[in-house]
Structure 1
Amino acid sequence: MPYRNILVALELNQREQALIRRAVELAECHGAALHLVHVEPDLSGVYVGSLSMNLAQLRVKLRLESGQEIVQLLREQQHDIASLSLPSGDIRQAVRLAVREKQADLLICGHRPGHHFFSHLFSHTVDFLDIDGCDLLVVKS
């Protein structure tokens, strides 16, 4: 059964190239739409008294920078991206919401080699194992 909507949960670093490459390969193989999501940290608990900008400005600035970094990561790929989401808050909730909104049937996450087995076992990826109707692929990055 081919995948129709592939969602990739990204961190923003150069190690994500392998993750994006794999996602593009699968999207092309299945003729699937490719959706990207990067969850910004929740800044509501950050003390902004010493910052020269307000919290709303900081959120906008971070989203713009994240979007630019993702565009840099995608430059090498020759595949259309159906959507790019940059929500903020809890990664578990944001990714689950993106899966529902995009009707994703495959979620692709990265895992950095060198992390111990138990840290991987309790990572965010484990929280995505029980999403109904969506397979999970963990790619070493």
Structure 2
Amino acid sequence: MANYRKILVAIDLTDEALQVLDRALAIAKNHGAELMLVHVIEPVGYAYGGDIPMDLTDLQTQLDEKARAELEIYGEKYGIGKENQHVLVGRPEAEVHRLAEEDKEIDLVVVGSHGRHGIQLLLGSTANGILHGATCDVLAVRIM
């Protein structure tokens, strides 16, 4: 079994994030590893295909500020300092991969999975996207 030193935990800021964080914390304690949190916000323009003739900057800023505040609550609860809390904007899979590649010390990514099967899995979940293309180990925690 690998000896993990730094664990990146990708969460969606729902109540389900607690299951993912609890599992990551248990692994971190067993390995003496450091935890890093990340939440990725998809750009508001993605939802509308970029065809809205209005400036969505204020809305994007509000989403970012809200996510940072919520991530800080999780950080405080799990003893994760602000320097290890990241809110990024983009496609979740791509941003998690980028962060894991930039921080060469990350050797495990933990993400929640709803355990979809068959065609739902083939159409692509965030967990599946993170799993494929990751340069380190990935643990998909089944959300119950």
TM over 0.5: yes
- TM-score, structure 2 length as denominator? 0.79
Is the contact between residue 7 and residue 33 of structure 2 (CA under 8 Å) also seen in structure 1?
yes
- SS of 2:112's partner is strand
2:39 corresponds in structure 1 to: 38
2:52 corresponds in structure 1 to: 47
- SS of 2:40's partner is coil
Task: Say which structure, 1 or 2, has more relative contact order (CA 8 Å, 6+ apart).
Answer: 1
* Identical amino acids, percent of aligned pairs: 27
- SS of 1:87's partner is strand
Mapped to 2, the partners of 1:65 and 1:37 lie a distance apart of 14
Aligned length: 134
Unaligned runs of 5+ in 1: none
- By how many angstroms is 1:63 displaced? 1.0
- By how many angstroms is 1:41 displaced? 1.1
Is the contact between residue 5 and residue 102 of structure 1 (CA under 8 Å) also seen in structure 2?
no
Mapped to 1, the partners of 2:128 and 2:86 lie a distance apart of 21
Is the contact between residue 39 and residue 87 of structure 1 (CA under 8 Å) also seen in structure 2?
yes
Over aligned residues, Cα RMSD in angstroms?
2.2
2:117 corresponds in structure 1 to: 117
1:10 corresponds in structure 2 to: 11
CA-to-aligned-CA distance 1:11-58 (integer Å, 9 cap, x gap): 120111111111111112211121111110112326263xxxx43322
- By how many angstroms is 1:124 displaced? 2.4
Mapped to 1, the partners of 2:89 and 2:34 lie a distance apart of 23
- TM-score, structure 1 length as denominator? 0.81
